[in-house]
């Protein structure tokens, strides 16, 4: 499906956090399709200014920017009131940071989101909002019985094992980050109920891909690759058998953009977004594949489990894919290889295993 023609207007589309990893990829897709885009970003995360420069170089006539924080009510109000639609990606994104400074985490994730929603409510234009939520709203999933099989945790229950965790799962916020993102998630949905604002929520699993500035606390697929490319050890928190379904950013962007085109049908609903069972991989298995990519074993160190870490999360994303007619996600080996190549090129390095795809297929 393509975006509905009725959404092609003269006002820019606002992407809060638009210099971040997913935000800049959404902005690039929109600008490539002929839309004007306003990037709203405080540029606090190291390296994201390069993403903004990249966007402006690629789309000098389509991309504009406001360097400001979502806690700046006046700046956010001005940006929101002039927007045709909003992708709200701006957030404090790390569980670890939320544990250090829960007040700031709350201010960015909850107050910032409420500022945005209320600016749009007061403006009275029914501006669509699509919000980037997280699988952390479901808590640590400790009640799901797991078994260890072939070096990876998997649910004992066959339905969960075959399809993943669905939107029917009760919300159970853990850690300040889970609470703040979960509260924002619910505010976004309630503004559809209470004020008829066309909003939708995408609860994301692990997204990876080009333009990702991976760190130990956020963007772990890119972080693992960067450490391996630099010949440095990777620290695993827990036993490394935990499983995630990883989704290439191109598939995530397609979901966001297509959802905007059909926002009236999605209004007031939350959907899981991830790679699904076909793209579920344990941390150890991913590191072994990365070793094939870089041509040598990757050194691994272990540390204690981190607060709120899920031993297993695979998104049941069948609802959003069926609703929007989305294609099958990119296979994880192919996507991780493409990210490795991009990271190597951006750092002036060379992959030592050009036949990495063939090696990965043997695993």
Q: Which of 177, 191, 256, 312 is catalytic?
A: 177
CB-based contacts of 237, cutoff 8 Å, min separation 6:
302, 303, 304, 305, 306, 309
Q: Which residues contact 275 (CB under 8 A, 6 or more apart)?
A: 205, 206, 245, 246, 247, 248, 251, 314, 315, 317, 329, 332
Helix (H, G, I), strand (E, B) or coil at 101: coil
Q: Is 216 left (phi over 0), alpha (psi -120 to 50) or beta?
A: alpha
- Distance between first and last Cα of the chain: 34
Catalytic-residue membership of 177: yes
Would you say 13 and 37 are in contact if contact means Cβ atoms under 8 Å apart?
yes
Beta bridge partners of 247: 207
Tokens 């002929």 locate to: 34
List, in sequence order, the alpha helices (H) in the chain: 21-32, 48-58, 73-81, 95-100, 102-106, 112-123, 158-163, 175-195, 220-229, 249-261, 263-266, 283-294, 318-324, 332-346, 356-361
Question: What is the tally of helices (H) and strands (E) in the chain?
Answer: 15, 15
d(CA 135, CA 140): 10
* Among the listed residues 146, 184, 186, the one whose alpha carbon sits nearest the alpha carbon of residue 165: 146
Q: Are 231 and 219 in contact (CB under 8 A)?
A: no
Which sequence positions are flagged as catalytic? 177
């Amino acid at each position: 499906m393509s975006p509905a023609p009725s959404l092609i207007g003269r006002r820019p589309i606002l992407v809060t956090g638009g210099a971040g990893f997913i935000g800049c990829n959404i902005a690039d897709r929109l600008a490539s399709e002929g839309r004007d885009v306003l990037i709203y970003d405080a540029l606090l995360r190291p390296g994201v200014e390069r993403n903004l420069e990249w966007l402006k170089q690629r789309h000098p006539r389509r991309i504009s920017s406001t360097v400001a924080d979502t806690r700046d009510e006046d700046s956010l109000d001005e940006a929101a009131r002039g927007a045709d639609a909003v992708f709200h990606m701006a957030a404090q994104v790390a569980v670890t940071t939320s544990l250090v400074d829960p007040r700031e985490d709350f201010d960015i994730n909850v107050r910032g989101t409420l500022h945005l929603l209320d600016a749009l409510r007061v403006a009275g234009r029914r501006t669509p909002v699509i919000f980037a939520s997280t699988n952390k709203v479901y808590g640590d999933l400790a009640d799901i019985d797991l078994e260890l099989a072939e070096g990876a945790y998997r649910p004992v229950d066959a339905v969960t094992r075959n399809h993943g965790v669905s939107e029917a799962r009760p919300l159970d916020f853990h850690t300040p980050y889970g609470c703040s993102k979960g509260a924002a998630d619910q505010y976004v949905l309630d503004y559809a109920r209470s004020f008829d604002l066309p909003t939708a929520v995408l609860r994301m699993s692990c997204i990876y891909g080009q333009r990702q500035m991976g760190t130990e606390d956020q963007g772990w697929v890119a972080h693992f690759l960067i450490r391996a490319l630099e010949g440095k050890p990777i620290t695993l928190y827990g036993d490394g058998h935990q499983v995630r379904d990883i989704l290439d950013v191109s598939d995530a962007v397609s979901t966001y953009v297509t959802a905007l085109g059909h926002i009236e049908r999605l209004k007031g609903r939350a959907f899981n977004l991830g790679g699904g069972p076909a793209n579920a991989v344990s941390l150890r298995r991913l590191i072994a594949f990365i070793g094939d990519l870089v041509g040598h074993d990757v050194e691994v160190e272990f540390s204690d489990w981190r607060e709120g870490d899920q031993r297993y999360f695979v998104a049941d994303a069948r609802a959003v894919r069926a609703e929007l007619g989305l294609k099958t996600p990119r296979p994880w080996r192919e996507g991780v290889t493409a990210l490795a190549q991009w990271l190597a090129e951006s750092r002036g390095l060379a992959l030592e295993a050009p036949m990495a795809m063939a090696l990965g297929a043997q695993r």
